[in-house]
Amino acid sequence: MQAPMYQDLADSVEEMIRRGVYVTGDRMPSIRAFSQQRDVSVSTSVRTFHELERRGVVRAAPRSGYFAVSPDELAELPAMGATSQQPLLANGDSGVLKLLEAAHDPGVMDFAIARPAMDLVPSREIQRASRHVWSVDRQRSMAPAFPPGVEELRVLIAKQLAQAGCQISPDELIITQGCQAAIALALRLLTEPGDVVAVEAPTHYGILELLEQLGLQALPIPTDPAYGISMNALELACQQWPIKAFIVVPNFSNPLGYCMYDVCKQRIISVAKHYNVAVIEDDVFGELRENNQRPSPIKRWDEEGHVYYCGSITKTFGSSFRVGWLTVPQVQMQRACEIQHAYTVTVDMHAQLVVAKLLETASIGRLLNHASVTYNRRTALMARRVEDSFPTGTRISRPRGGYLLWIELPDGIDTSVVLDEALQDGVSFAPGKLFSVDRQFEHCLRLNACEFGTRASEKALARLAKIIN
**Is 374 part of any domain?**
yes
- The mean pLDDT of 350-359, rounded to a whole number, is 93
% of the chain at pLDDT higher than 90: 62
Tens of pLDDT, residue by residue over 39-66, are 899 989 998 988 888 777 888 776 778 8
Beta carbons of 174 and 326 less than 8 angstroms apart: yes
State the Cα–Cα distance between residues 184 and 175, nearest whole angstrom.
13
293 shares its domain with 307: yes
Digit-coded pLDDT (tens) for 34-44 = 998 888 999 89
Q: What is the pLDDT of residue 132?
A: 92
Whether omega for the bond prior to residue 255 falls within 30 degrees of 0, making it cis, is: yes
**210 and 331 share one domain:** yes
Q: How far apart, in whole angstroms, are the C-alpha atoms of residue 173 and residue 326?
A: 6
Residues 324 and 378 in one domain: no
Asked whether residue 83 is domain-assigned, the answer is: no
| pLDDT recorded at residue 214 | 96
Name the pLDDT band for 73 (thresholds 50, 70, 90): low
Are 327 and 381 in the same domain? no
Residue type, 393: G
**410: CATH:** 3.90.1150.10
Q: Return the half-sphere exposure (C-beta side, CA atoms, 13 A cut-off) of residue 129.
A: 23
pLDDT digits (tens, 9 = 90+) for 74-101: 667 787 776 666 888 876 556 787 888 8
Task: Give me the pLDDT at residue 361, please.
Answer: 84
Among 20-29, 200-209, 436-445, the least confident range: 20-29
The confidence score (pLDDT) of residue 442 equals 93
Q: Are residues 286 and 402 in the same domain?
A: no
pLDDT tens, residue by residue, 117-155: 999 998 999 999 999 999 888 888 888 889 999 999 999
Q: How many domains does the chain have?
A: 3
- The residue segments making up the domain with residue 37 are 5-73
Q: What is the mean pLDDT of residues 425-433?
A: 95
Question: Is the peptide bond between 222 and the residue preceding it cis, with omega within 30 degrees of 0?
Answer: no
Task: Give the mean pLDDT of 366-373.
Answer: 87
Rounded (10°) angle between helices 95-103 and 415-424: 30
Q: Give the domain CATH number at 171.
A: 3.40.640.10
CA angle 406, 409, 410 (to 5 degrees): 150
